[in-house]
Amino acid sequence: MNDIKSIIKSNEILRLFIKQNGPLRIKDIIEKLDIPQSTAYRIVKTHVNQGLLDALGDGWYKPGWVIQALYEPVFPHYDKLTELARPLLEEAVNHLGETIILTTLRGNHVLVLDTVESTQNLRFSFYKNEVFLPYFGASSKILIAFAEENYRNDLIKLAEDIDKEEFSQELEKIRQNGFALSHSEVDVGAIGIGVPIILNKKLIGGLSVAAPEFRINHEKQEEIIQYLKAMTKEITFLMKND
């Protein structure tokens, strides 16, 4: 099969998922498109490796994170989360005294959905709609650690200038602990503390605090972790009952 025919068949498979509007098996693809089994397996495997399709197990596949990033509008999708979380972010800054950030994954980047700055003279600033790579800092690592496995593996593959095995081990530790900590990874002298927001067993975002390290002793660190976890519970409760 020449390159042009391969591209056409590849596009036909992706179009089939759009038409189906749900998961498909390899045998469904073969039957509906009348293509050889070897061709179907080769194209689907390539799409999975590139993040265009996601393997669900037992021979089932669905559109992957790359496709979702292309067709999902960011702001309408997260308006509800941002709206419900905003009063809680303001309360958190008043209580904790440090900058707090609401983030989510968007394609292969982290997107800042909202942020409220500390009122203290020395503080760290973020900007709404700011995007950055998901490999450094607690606000990034908490998201990639709790992302779907195939999505997480794709992001690790795309990473440059990091030890992928060591990074994977760090993410596993974050999942076990339920929070992420970072020290001077993005800004010198800064500590980051992040927790995931999980709704119906799916990651929808993350909450993080950024502060100067000298203001955060062990007791304050534990207070922040517990406060952020309580916030995520309240946010998910509001999301379910709004």
Give the tens place of pLDDT for each residue, 40-99.
888 888 888 877 888 887 788 888 777 766 655 444 457 889 999 999 999 999 999 999
Sheet strands (E) in the chain: 24-25, 53-57, 60-63, 99-106, 109-116, 131-132, 180-183, 190-199, 202-212
Q: In this model, does residue 189 exceed pLDDT 90? A: yes
Q: What is the pLDDT of residue 5?
A: 74
The top-scoring range by mean pLDDT among 33-47, 142-156, 168-182 is 168-182
Q: Which pLDDT band, with edges at 50, 70 and 90, does 149 fall under?
A: confident
For residues 192-198, give the mean pLDDT.
97
124-138, 163-177, 197-211: range with lowest mean pLDDT: 124-138
Q: In this model, does residue 142 exceed pLDDT 90? A: yes
For the record, the structure tokens of 28 come out as 């469904």
The top-scoring range by mean pLDDT among 52-66, 97-111, 214-228 is 214-228
User: What is the spatial distance between Cα 82 and Cα 113, in angstroms, rounded to a whole number?
Assistant: 7
For residues 107-112, give the mean pLDDT.
84
Q: What is the pLDDT of residue 32?
A: 87
For the record, the structure tokens of 123 come out as 């503080």
User: What spatial distance separates the first Cα and last Cα of the chain, rounded to whole Å?
Assistant: 53
Q: Give the residue with greater pLDDT, 99 vs 22.
A: 99
Q: In this model, does residue 200 exceed pLDDT 70? A: yes
For residues 179-196, give the mean pLDDT.
95
Contacts of 137 (CB under 8 A, 6+ apart): 182, 185, 186, 192, 208
Q: Which pLDDT band, with edges at 50, 70 and 90, does 166 fall under?
A: very high
For residues 177-196, give the mean pLDDT.
95
What percentage of the chain has pLDDT greater than the value 90? 49
Q: What is the pLDDT of residue 174?
A: 97
Which of 213, 210, 181, 198 is closest to 96 using CA atoms? 210
Q: Which pLDDT band, with edges at 50, 70 and 90, does 179 fall under?
A: very high
- Counting DSSP H helices and E strands in the chain, the numbers are 9, 9
Q: Give the residue with greater pLDDT, 86 vs 152.
A: 86
- Predicted TM-score of the model (pTM): 0.73
DSSP conformation class of 106: E
User: What is the spatial distance between Cα 169 and Cα 162, in angstroms, rounded to a whole number?
Assistant: 12
Q: What is the pLDDT of residue 57?
A: 77
Contacts of 153 (CB under 8 A, 6+ apart): none
Q: What is the pLDDT of residue 133?
A: 82
111-119: long-range contacts (C-beta < 8 A, 24 or more apart)? 111/74, 113/78, 113/81, 113/82, 113/85, 113/205, 114/82, 114/85, 114/86, 114/89, 115/89, 116/89, 116/90, 116/92, 117/93, 118/93, 118/211, 119/93
Q: In this model, does residue 218 exceed pLDDT 60? A: yes
